[in-house]
Structure 1
């Protein structure tokens, strides 16, 4: 049986917040990260597309040290979506085209296809982003990131500020795009039920360290550490 491709590998990574982080991200998986506020979950994501660099340790993407990539190209391949949609003023089409135009990759027919991924009609291309609801803006933010054709998506509390309808739409979208459109997802969520619904593997963090990680259902049904047991009861 062929071994699943490793997309990201972190070995003994340290920052002022994170301590001794080692993990692998494999092709075709969604990894959910859980833990209390200040556990280091968002800090871990920021290392992967070089919003922050480690003081010690190595991070490899597709077998190469992330420091060997030009930062714009790395962030094109490892896309990030945040809790707030972070769209800029203008139309939906302006936002979708921004990244691909930097690399001369934008084609006019891409807009409709990208909106279809997030279940928005083509007519939204000409809408000003400020006229959209919060959930619609977040879906456009996903489409904008997908426009760069990333290999990996980093998601930081992306559904925490949207209504339940949009949560359901976004979750269905995430399950559909791996591995068809992206190779893997790392997703920080405060919602442990969401982590359980979406994750192939789950990482539990506390005080900048990985306390426990493993297949999601096993981790939730049979936690090995007292700290995770306590966290899941809260």
Structure 2
């Protein structure tokens, strides 16, 4: 039986750049299930936190203790950036690439590609260069490429920034479907409406410090700190 990579225990996580504290030190536990929304003002450290947990940000101090070996951890999680990164290839090849890395049997690859292309409305564009897609289409392709390997854990860094309402709704539907099928999701957003729509729990960061965390119902309706109360009212928090 393959061990799950979660829960994750984080202790004393600290990120410094050029002598300046960017994040932490902070402690948290990422449970095996949930849809965690990470909120906070610009520069709070949301992106840094996600990248540090994902393993693409250099950590200055602290430990991340996963529930499985490192090789399994890296292979069974995905990351979607705010600005989608497209391979200079066709839509089909963008979807094929992660499957080839994870050893999916060749007999299943085409079926998965067509399934996900259909979900994101790009079946007719499979032979087109991904660089020619619109911003919303690129972000949906980026999300499909992250989910096509059926990861246990998905990180997203403000994936709906600069997208219109329709594209945002489409992405939220895909995320909720992935969550319903068992993918653990941790997502940073600046959109409080989106955070309320999607969260089962939430984290609030200010100046690199974790100020408050909790289940969504309590977090949004009964904030405990003055800073979160002000932030949820739309006030400036520094």
- Root-mean-square deviation (CA, aligned residues, Å) is 1.8
Map residues 103-118 of structure 1 onto 2, 5 A cutoff. Answer: 103-105=102-104, 106=106, 107-118=109-120
Mapped to 2, the partners of 1:154 and 1:86 lie a distance apart of: 15
Residue deviations 1:120-166 (CA, integer Å, cap 9, x gap): 14222222213321111110101111123211110001001211101
Mapped to 1, the partners of 2:28 and 2:195 lie a distance apart of: 18
Does residue 226 of structure 2 align to residue 226 of structure 1? yes
Residue 179 of structure 1 and its aligned partner are, at CA, apart by 4.0
Name the CA shift for 1:218/1:19 in 2 (closer, same or farther; >3 Å): same
- TM-score, normalised via structure 2 length: 0.86
Name the CA shift for 1:28/1:48 in 2 (closer, same or farther; >3 Å): same
Q: 2:153 maps to what in 1?
A: 152
The answer (yes or no) to whether the contact 2:39–2:203 under 8 Å persists in 1 is yes
Q: 2:19 maps to what in 1?
A: none
Mapped to 2, the partners of 1:147 and 1:138 lie a distance apart of: 14
Residue 220 of structure 1 and its aligned partner are, at CA, apart by 1.3
The answer (yes or no) to whether the contact 2:10–2:27 under 8 Å persists in 1 is yes
Mapped to 2, the partners of 1:88 and 1:161 lie a distance apart of: 21
The answer (yes or no) to whether the contact 2:75–2:102 under 8 Å persists in 1 is no
Does residue 86 of structure 2 align to residue 84 of structure 1? no
The answer (yes or no) to whether the contact 2:156–2:187 under 8 Å persists in 1 is yes
The answer (yes or no) to whether the contact 1:77–1:152 under 8 Å persists in 2 is yes
The alignment partner of 2:213 has SS state of strand
Map residues 122-201 of structure 1 onto 2, 5 A cutoff. Answer: 122-180=123-181, 182=183, 184-201=184-201
Residue 117 of structure 1 and its aligned partner are, at CA, apart by 3.6
Does residue 217 of structure 2 align to residue 217 of structure 1? yes
- Give 5+ residue unaligned stretches, structure 1: none
Name the CA shift for 1:79/1:232 in 2 (closer, same or farther; >3 Å): same
Residue deviations 1:7-27 (CA, integer Å, cap 9, x gap): 322122122121132222223
Q: 1:202 maps to what in 2?
A: 202
- TM-score, normalised via structure 1 length: 0.88
- Give 5+ residue unaligned stretches, structure 2: 17-21
Aligned residues: 222
